[in-house]
Amino acid sequence: MSLNINPVEAFDLVVFGITGDLAHRKILPALCHRFSIGQIPKETRIIGVARGEKSKEQFHAEMAEALDKHLPKGRCDDQCVKDFLDCFHYVKLDVLGEDGWQELKDLLNERPNPVRAFYLSVAPSLFAEISVRLGKSGIATEGSRIVLEKPFGHDLQSAKDLNARLKSCFDECQIYRIDHYLGKETVQNLMALRFANALFEPLWNSQHIDHVQITVAETLGIAGRGGYYDHAGAMRDMVQNHMMQVMCLIAMEPPARFDADSVRDEKLKVIKALDPLDIRNTVRGQYRAGNGGGSYREEAENPDSMTESAVALKAAISNWRWSGVPFYLRTGKRLRAHVSEIMIKFKEPPHNIFEQSRPAEGNALILRLQPGEGITLMMTIKEPGSGGMRFLRVPLDMSFAETLGGRTGVLGNAYERLIMDVIRGDQTLFMRGDEAEAAWAWVDPVIAAWQESGERPQPYDALGSGPEAALALMHRDGREWREIETEPDA
């Protein structure tokens, strides 16, 4: 199996916030890898923007240091990194001030034609200001693209305000709201699995599916990020964007075509078909101290914090396909393992012909987003040997790393794919403004109800399975969460 590399035309990418954490850890390594495999031509210009005064040499040294630290070893040799750094330019610019904009404009105008993209890797409070400046100054041309990091708004009203300001300068087809979960290979494979195979689609409904679980668990706490996180919480940080997007891809109807608006129309219909969340179907948690870390409240440096570091909820989609099929979502920090996965749990066989054995469990399709992206189908087989019909559950496992035989290095990470989509002008894997607003409209009332209740999120053990009440949420429906574990299956 060969993996195609389709080179793009040389482009100009302006990265606001080039000195920041996201630029260093994700954006630079992603670009460098695509450069090394020949997808990005050497005439491309990456124009870094930040407030500090830097000579060209100093800037290149900083970029080289960031790459040395964050580029997986063996990805690019020294010569390749050197050639890549030749693409870099720096403009000193405080986006809240007047200086530097003309210099940026002049630099871009040296080459009027290539694709021009602006990546806002800065605090969300600066998004509106930068986009208006870019639009009004003429730096953003008709074909320019603007890329925004999450969070896209803090609630429905702020998302609406931001959309309105963006749209005063950019057309929706120029706006790329990045959700890196959608760039993950498995998430895209979910669409391939459903719509490029005839096997699953006839089963993909309430007649055959018992329930769906989506889990995003992290082992790390919020130490060092408390300032941002304590104002957000798991609902805003994870559920409103990544998890709802994944839920939409699982639940959406087949789009007529695989293009941006057809896919996004179908995702939007799912969000609109969600029943309002009943607070009784939600659980909030905060991790305790232990296992070498402080408690949530200590790490947030807010002894009275009411912000949740974990959420579990049960959602219902009221349409013909999903009526009666619960979607259980859970996410949390300081949990047992760093794992993101989807489980589609099928119903049990309708009749047990093996009277002496326990009925076979329903099949489960597990899509692992991380670690080790891949797909597992849990099947029931006969336990080998004599002794009658005893059953064994076995995984039919497809790890992308194995299937692609060492070529996964070429696949790269989600940021690589998404940045290349921006350059190609493909918005399929980016959230549209109305989707972001609809997602806020669904989560806002729950966040408000939590605040009104005045109840503290339930404490849970560090590096455990999460709040007890999240387990109870499942148990009361006679179901269980899949174990949080790093191995594909056990």
SS3 174: helix
Which two three-digit tokens encode residue 127? 């998004």
Residue 477: exposure state from Cβ atoms within 10 A (0-12, 13-18, ≥19): middle
Told to check if 239 binds ligand NAP by CB under 6 A, we report no
Q: Which residues contact 486 (CB under 8 A, 6 or more apart)?
A: 337, 338, 339, 371
Catalytic choice (24, 154, 211, 242) = 242
94 is in an annotated binding site: yes
Amino acid sitting at position 161:
D
| Segment lying near ligand NAP (by CB under 6 A), choices 61-69, 89-97, 152-160, 381-389 | 89-97
Q: Is 184 in the site for ligand NAP (CB under 6 A)?
A: no
- 26 known ligand binder: no
For ligand NAP, which residue of 28, 47, 50, 438 counts as binding (CB under 6 A)? 50
Say which DSSP state 464 is in: B
- Tell me the one-letter amino acid at 101: W
Rounded Cα gap, residues 232 and 307, in angstroms? 7
Residue type, 490: A
Sign of the dihedral defined by the CA atoms of residues 36, 187, 163, 156, in that order: negative
CA proximity to 119, closest of 443, 415, 482, 472: 415
Binding mask 261-300 for ligand NAP (x = CB under 6 A): ----------------------------------------
Structure tokens at 52: 């500090």
Q: State in angstroms the smallest separation of the CB of 17 from ligand NAP.
A: 3
382 is in an annotated binding site: no
Q: Which of residues 141-180 bind ligand NAP (CB under 6 A)?
A: 149-151
Which of these ranges, 20-28, 277-285, 308-316, 440-448, lies near ligand NAP under the rule CB under 6 A? 20-28
Does position 124 bind ligand NAP by CB under 6 A? Answer: yes
Among 123, 220, 256, 381, binds ligand NAP (CB under 6 A): 123
Q: Are 363 and 348 in contact (CB under 8 A)?
A: no
Is 24 annotated as belonging to a binding site? no
22 binds ligand NAP (CB under 6 A): yes
Nearest residue (CB) to ligand NAP, 121 versus 286:
121
Is 20 one of the binding residues for ligand NAP (CB under 6 A)?
Answer: yes
Q: Any contact of residue 51 with ligand NAP (CB under 6 A)?
A: yes
Is residue 253 close enough to count as binding ligand NAP by CB under 6 A? Answer: no
CA distance readout (Å), 421 to 174, 269, 400: 12, 24, 21
Question: Does 424 carry a binding-site annotation?
Answer: no
Instruction: Please tell me whether residue 94 binds ligand NAP under the rule CB under 6 A.
Output: yes
Of 15-23, 59-67, 203-211, 406-414: span binding ligand NAP (CB under 6 A): 15-23
Stretch that binds ligand NAP, among 21-29, 256-264, 429-437, 479-487 (CB under 6 A): 21-29
Q: Which of 3, 5, 96, 256 binds ligand NAP (CB under 6 A)?
A: 96
Q: Dmax of the chain from CA atoms?
A: 82
Closest C-alpha among 335, 412, 334 to residue 373: 412
Q: Which single residue is written with the structure tokens 């989506």? A: 214
How many binding residues for ligand NAP (CB under 6 A)?
22
Closest to ligand NAP by CB, 150 vs 211, is 150
Distances (CA, A) of 423 to 81, 132, 142, 162, 174: 21, 21, 14, 23, 11
Nearer to ligand NAP, 158 or 319 (CB): 158
Our CB check for ligand NAP shows the closer of 226 and 467 to be 226
Q: Least distance from C-beta 18 to ligand NAP, angstroms?
A: 6
Q: Does 419 bind ligand NAP (CB under 6 A)?
A: no
Q: What residue number has its CB nearest to ligand NAP?
A: 20
| Closer residue to ligand NAP, CB minimum distance, 95 or 216 | 95
Which residue, 181 or 322, has its beta carbon nearer to ligand NAP? 181
Angle in degrees, CA 439, 466, 446, rounded to 5: 30
Cis amide linkage into residue 72, ω under 30° from 0? no
Q: Whose CA is closest to 82, among 42, 126, 51, 130?
A: 42
How far is Cα 364 from Cα 482, in angstroms, rounded to an integer? 10
Residue 20 and residue 48 in contact, taking contact as beta carbons nearer than 8 Å: no
* C-alpha distance from residue 198 to each of 1, 229, 251 (Å): 22, 42, 16
Is 242 an annotated catalytic residue? yes
Residue numbers annotated as active site: 242
Binding positions for substrate: 180, 184, 218, 237, 333
Query: Applying CB under 6 A, which residues contact ligand NAP?
Result: 16-23, 50-52, 93-96, 121-124, 149-151
